Structure 1
Amino acid sequence: MERKLYTNTKAKASTRKLTTLAMLSAISVILGFTPLGIIPVPPVNATIMHIPVIIAAILEGPVIGAIMGLIFGILSIIRAITTGNILLPAILNPMVSVLPRILIGVGAYYAYKSLPIESDKIRVGISAAIGTAINTFGFLGMLYLLYAETAAVAFKVSVDAVGKAIVTIGVTHGIPEIIVAVIITVGVILALKKLRKN
């Protein structure tokens, strides 16, 4: 009887994870291919596409979060190809466009689980901020390390000034992205957790 109950519980959890993954993947695709997910703020785009990754990670764990990050990374490559992004040579490299996005889910999950704070709302908010920072500075950091010359052309600065330009972009894009991510993530996760309890 206990084994059957355990099997049923495990099956329900797996079904829930797959349902969450499918739902958030669909949202990511919509965000990726409409103006809803990408806000063109030259020289790089601001985005809210990382938010489903953070939500998936906090609700369903680091593996689902990493899969969502992979989906985000692939969508960003497809979007760059179809829109002719000036940073296309860099974005085609998975080290720049995919790896940082996979790490969003992993980082957000472990931040959420390890924070010694009782308030779930605060833990979710901090985790959303950390996940967003991983996205912004992971992408820009890999861009700087691997494609400084490409970035210099895109940002219209000298190669020597790329580091400063990237920090400036990280701050000007990163802070608004963090604020939006915290607001949306906290609202969505608390609402979904409430629904799951009912």
Structure 2
Amino acid sequence: MMLRSTRIARLVPVAAAAGALAVFTASCASPSQEVASVSNVSQPQSKYKGTELGIPTPIPPVTLTGVDGKPYDLKANSAGKVTLVYFGYTHCPDECPTAMADVAAALRLSSAQVRAKVQVVFVTTDPERDTGPVIKDWLAKFDPSFIGLTGTVQQVDDAAKLAATPVEPPKKNADGSVEVDHGTQINAFGTDGVAHVVWLAGVTPKDIAHDIALLT
């Protein structure tokens, strides 16, 4: 099946605070055009290299499905850990693999002590094509410890909304192409169970490693 995608603009009500920043939504394929959407804001002179949230976002209290087919309680399994959550899909040729590669590189830059406190969770926004084995094999290219989750389209949408991440159900077009639109931020939930910072396109593995150390 041919894959086609676009990027769309929309308002993303992540949190209210003074000022605004651009968060990109993407469908991770070519051809495409970047369109900024209005989202949460960063605090001035933040200690983070990423974008500090004006209002922290709690980790979604949802149960999805792991690559082994078993239920996975995201909140319960994140207790006491730094949990990095990304919504994307395996057919994505640009934003998604870049995000996973950057996080993997950041963890390699981190000490063993820090790495032991961090888990990475990838939630597919294309559950029909991203089966458990597909997600597992794809994540293994970056780091086999990365956790892959799936669910129904509604379950994924609910989880994304709670994580203040814009996603839309995959759209099948008459020509056989598929559009999968999703927010491209990496959500960093601290050991307190809330996200104080997100990483947008343009951050480096070194930036991510810096912030992870602050969160652990």
TM over 0.5: no
Structure with larger RCO (C-alpha < 8 A, sep 6+):
2
Could you state the TM-score of these two structures normalised by the residue count of structure 1?
0.29
| Higher radius of gyration, 1 or 2 | 1
